[in-house]
Amino acid sequence: MGDNYHTLDQYSSEKNAARQRRSKWIVIGSILVLVVLIGAGVAAGIIISNRNKSNGGSSSSSKGNNKDPSVFTKDPRLHKSFYGLAYTPEGSLVPECGNSLENVIKDIQLMSQLTTRVRLYGADCNQTALVLEAIKQTKVDIQVFLGNYVVPTDHAAYERQRDILKDAIQTYGTDHIAGVTVGNEFMLNYLTEHEATDPDGEIGKQGAAILLADIQDTRDMLASLALPKDIPVGNSDAGSFFSTDVLSAVDYGLSNVHAWFANTTAEGAAEWVTTFFEETNVQPAALLPNKPKMYIAETGWPTKSSDAGNANNGGSDASVAGLQAFMDNFVCQANDNGIPYFFFEFFDEEWKDIQFGGVEGWWGLFNADRTLKDITIPNCTAP
């Protein structure tokens, strides 16, 4: 079955990618630590830690049996301080699926209290329509970067998702769509599978050609709809795996920048992320003729590991205190410095823990049951 194959392939790719990412980051990390020490330091963020101890982590309809999703209790612990959030609705992996509008509405209600931007990774299991429907029903101010998770060995997966995206755009219009991201960690996975490392090398160019065709096809699909506004088309990859060919063909690039995989401490993570992103992504992109806008696609800190061996990656432990330190140093400072980022991630994803173990399932601001972790959300206003 194509779908089974796709799922297995996606799982093992991501697992390999995580391993590869870890060692890659460590190498890059050691080089960059030096750069960071030499380079001008970024002033430490000043953060408020007003611990607001009110209860009620989950948002439900406020009054009795009120079923209007646009009426919901706001959690005073939440602030709209995040530029964006990385999100995958629970139950969005083929072939199992199992997501529900009810859960997505709950998630959108919570996320709308933290940000005005959400990015998705793929389109399977109707997640595109569910998110746009939830935004419609909750009437919240959220822009979505839709996604098409491209698998090198399964072109039908691309086409299936493209058709879902097309359908969702036709149904919901463009008011809440900020972009369509074609490919997530595609080059990282492609190179890892072919035991190569250079996205601009011969094998890298083979992989890039697959993406380039899909990016053009997505542009053609959008053009065929004669939409009232241009929808930017982008690509997402691990920070040091962007293909120059691909970046030259997109309107934006989403870059995963994880201090955790770079042997940094939680306290040093914000500065590391800022420097890495600027030097590895922003500066090279600015030299390309099309000048794609670069965003941090994922950045965060895990709050625990499922096994002792992965509880520390060289710098600090995976811990709630580490997440707090990273947020305190990164979030408001990145806002002030005009760094666009998607915090990773909205909630703990159980499937990742089941498949990969270690820290993979524990990056959420919220637990899997959508209660807020024991953290203080920075109180500043994101742009």
Are 275 and 42 in contact by the 8 Å Cβ rule? The answer is yes
- The tokens for 316 are 């600090």
Single-letter code of the amino acid located at 360: E
Q: Closest separation between CB of residue 287 and ligand NAG, Å?
A: 30
Q: Closest separation between CB of residue 351 and ligand NAG, Å?
A: 20
What's the rounded Cα separation, in Å, for the pair 196 and 110? 41
What's the rounded Cα separation, in Å, for the pair 179 and 306? 35
30 touches ligand NAG by CB under 6 A? yes
What's the rounded Cα separation, in Å, for the pair 213 and 21? 26
- Exposed e or buried b for every residue in 25-43, given b needs 16+ CB within 10 A? beebbeebbeebeeeeebe
What's the rounded Cα separation, in Å, for the pair 141 and 138? 9
- Piece in contact with ligand NAG (CB under 6 A), picked from 126-134, 141-149, 231-239, 336-344: 126-134
Residue 262 CB neighbour total at 10 angstroms: 28
26 touches ligand NAG by CB under 6 A? yes
Q: Closest separation between CB of residue 315 and ligand NAG, Å?
A: 7
- Piece in contact with ligand NAG (CB under 6 A), picked from 123-131, 226-234, 281-289, 333-341: 123-131
Are 29 and 276 in contact by the 8 Å Cβ rule? The answer is no
**Which one among 2, 15, 58, 101 touches ligand NAG, defined by CB under 6 A?**
101
Query: Which residues, numbered 224-263, are part of the site for ligand NAG (CB under 6 A)?
Result: 263
Contacts with ligand NAG, 176-205, as mask; x by CB under 6 A:
------------------------------
Contacts of 99 (CB under 8 A, 6+ apart): 89, 90, 91, 92, 125, 126, 127, 130
Q: Closest separation between CB of residue 75 and ligand NAG, Å?
A: 11
Q: Which uninterrupted H or E stretch holds 270?
A: helix 269-276
Contacts with ligand NAG, 60-99, as mask; x by CB under 6 A:
----------------------------------------
Q: Which uninterrupted H or E stretch holds 209?
A: helix 202-224
Q: Closest separation between CB of residue 113 and ligand NAG, Å?
A: 12
Q: Closest separation between CB of residue 251 and ligand NAG, Å?
A: 27
170 touches ligand NAG by CB under 6 A? no
- Piece in contact with ligand NAG (CB under 6 A), picked from 128-136, 211-219, 270-278, 333-341: 128-136
DSSP 38-91: HSPPPPPPP-----------S--BSSTT---TT-BPPPTT--S-BSEEE---SS
100 touches ligand NAG by CB under 6 A? no
Q: Closest separation between CB of residue 250 and ligand NAG, Å?
A: 27
Q: Closest separation between CB of residue 110 and ligand NAG, Å?
A: 17
Query: Which residues, numbered 274-303, are part of the site for ligand NAG (CB under 6 A)?
Result: none
Q: CB-wise, 7 or 376, nearer to ligand NAG?
A: 376
- Piece in contact with ligand NAG (CB under 6 A), picked from 112-120, 125-133, 185-193, 361-369: 125-133
Q: CB-wise, 101 or 221, nearer to ligand NAG?
A: 101
- Exposed e or buried b for every residue in 274-287, given b needs 16+ CB within 10 A? bbbbeebbbeebee
129 touches ligand NAG by CB under 6 A? yes
Are 161 and 122 in contact by the 8 Å Cβ rule? The answer is yes
Query: Which residues, numbered 319-338, are part of the site for ligand NAG (CB under 6 A)?
Result: none
**Which one among 50, 54, 55, 65 touches ligand NAG, defined by CB under 6 A?**
50
Binding site for ligand NAG (CB under 6 A): 26, 30, 50, 52, 101, 126, 129-130, 133, 263, 314, 379
